Amino acid sequence: MQALSSLSSLASGGRRDPGWQVQLRVDYVVNQVSLTHRGQSEDVIKDAIQEQLRVYGVVPNKRQVSKYAQAISALPQVQPASR
């Protein structure tokens, strides 16, 4: 008779990679910074991403932050809506 497999994975919603919560936090911060800092210099964007990631307890990867900053700085600035 074979032993039953563990059911703990069913209770937690299945298996996920160890860093999935970190990646969700990075995605959230990058999306927020892309809304508020688009079109600005890469240095300003890097600082904003790093500051906000530290608030969420994430140690930023400098290469990854640089790529995100480069992409966000290339976006056109959003004009404020006129009334």
67-81 pLDDT, tens digit per residue, is 999 999 999 887 776
pLDDT of residue 63: 95
Secondary structure E strands in the chain: none
What's the whole-model pTM score?
0.74
Query: What is the rounded distance in angstroms from the CA atom of residue 22 to the CA atom of residue 20?
Result: 5
Element (H, E) at 25: helix 20-36
Query: What is the rounded distance in angstroms from the CA atom of residue 59 to the CA atom of residue 42?
Result: 19
Q: For residue 6, what pLDDT band results from cuts at 50, 70 and 90?
A: very low
Mean per-residue pLDDT of the chain: 84
Q: Is the predicted pLDDT of residue 17 greater than 70, yes or no?
A: yes
Query: What is the rounded distance in angstroms from the CA atom of residue 62 to the CA atom of residue 65?
Result: 5
